[in-house]
Structure 1
Amino acid sequence: MTDRKLTDQERRAWEAASRHVRRLDGKRSPRVAMPDVPGSSPMSPSVSPRSPLKRLPAPVQNRENERRIRRGKQAVSASFDLHGMTQDEAWRRLPQFLSRQRQNGAQCVIIITGKGRSGDGVLRRNFLHWIEMPQARSLISGYAPAHARHGGGGAWYVFLRKL
């Protein structure tokens, strides 16, 4: 927190908001345990972001493919939009999509995560965790942020390993 002074407008707003607030008579409100909300975990229930992972070799990024896609010389095979999905649903469907596209011979797909309201959306942030998980990592050879014409900061190129 900063120690800056409130502006007149901020002070008036605070006074208006706190005008009808009364102090409790020394009583503290009881602590209530927050219930688990379905879909609120960043990973599937069996995988938490802090659980130790058995690391596979780092995916090799194919810079030449990335350049060709950014320049429009190589087509993107498919796209997968995570908008409107819960975290659990997105996590469950992402490896399925990658596997299906790999079976179809796709070399590059776009995963659209969106940016979120503050520029650091939940799906965007978790995508970077998910793509490193063994279920997805074994299918890919690399990934990179998408060019503006393909969604920019709210999308990723995912390069699939050959069969």
Structure 2
Amino acid sequence: MAAITRPGGVSKKQRDLTTDEKKLWRRVAASVKTRRPLPAEVEEAEEKLAPKRAVPTAASKAPAPAPAPRAKPAPPPQHRGNEKRVRRGKLEIGASFDLHGHTQESGRAVLERFLRAAHRRGDRTVIVITGVGRGGVGVLRRCLPEWLAERDIRPLVSGYAPAHRAHGGSGAFYVFLKRPSETSD
């Protein structure tokens, strides 16, 4: 076990540190963020032993690419009353659709077709089952809010909410559709 050292290169037992111990100490000391400045003797020792590093120039440092803009998720139901009414069985669920077995691309396409058909039928509330995914982080579950916010689906949807345990729990969503007269479809 290495002896605990003090800043000056001397161990508690007042022996000089070996070269390997000094290198290790420098690495540890460099990784620590402190508010107090290091003692002058430590800084001098550091400067003598530390290898000179090339200073990066502005030309060699490329700016980080800007993150891609993401679509805003659809807002939750405008009135939590709809969500509560569905959970209590007071609001009829028009249809349900299970996305299990679909990829992101096929899931997005069939979801749009399903929502358009339900909207044409006059359904006001549907259930979309995404599944919870492995470890609770399902790809389709994560994508559903983004899909509902997209330009071609957004005019059909007034909101969405996680489903009650009786309707699929965290692996399903209630999707509230606008009345056909409310959209310019």
Q: Same fold (TM over 0.5)?
A: yes
Shift of 1:62: 2.9
Is this contact kept in 2: 1:108–1:160, CA < 8 A?
Answer: yes
Q: Per-residue CA shift, 1:133-162, capped at 9, x if unaligned?
A: 112111001100000000010000000011
Q: TM-score, normalised by structure 2?
A: 0.57
Query: Does residue 1:68 correspond to 2:85, yes or no?
Result: yes
Cα offset, 1:52, TM superposition: 6.0
Matched residue type, 1:96: R
Conservation of the 8 A alpha-carbon contact between 2:115 and 2:156: yes
CA contact (8 A) 2:77 2:176 kept: no
Q: Give ranges in structure 2 of 5+ residues lacking alignment.
A: 1-66, 181-185
Q: 1:155 to 1:60 in 2, by over 3 A?
A: closer
RCO (CA 8 Å, sep 6+): is it higher in 1 or 2?
1
Partner residue, 2:103: 86
Q: Indicate the percent of aligned positions where both proteins have the same amino acid.
A: 50
Structure with bigger helix share is 2
Aligned equivalent of 1:105, options 93, 97, 122: 122
List 4+ stretches of structure 1 deviating above 4 A. 57-60
Q: 1:76 and 1:100 mapped to 2: Cα distance?
A: 14
TM (norm. structure 1) is 0.64
Deviates more, 1:127-136 or 1:97-106: 127-136
The aligned amino acid for 1:121 is G
Q: Which residue in the other structure is 2:154 paired with?
A: 137
What's the C-alpha RMSD, in Å, of the aligned pairs?
Answer: 2.2
Cα distance, 1:60 vs. partner? Answer: 5.3
SS at match of 2:152: helix
Answer whether contact 2:129 2:172 (CA < 8 A) is retained: yes
Larger gyration radius, structure 1 or structure 2: 2
Partner of 1:154: 171
CA contact (8 A) 2:77 2:161 kept: no
TM-superposed CA distance for 1:72, in Å, is 1.1
1:120 aligned partner: 137
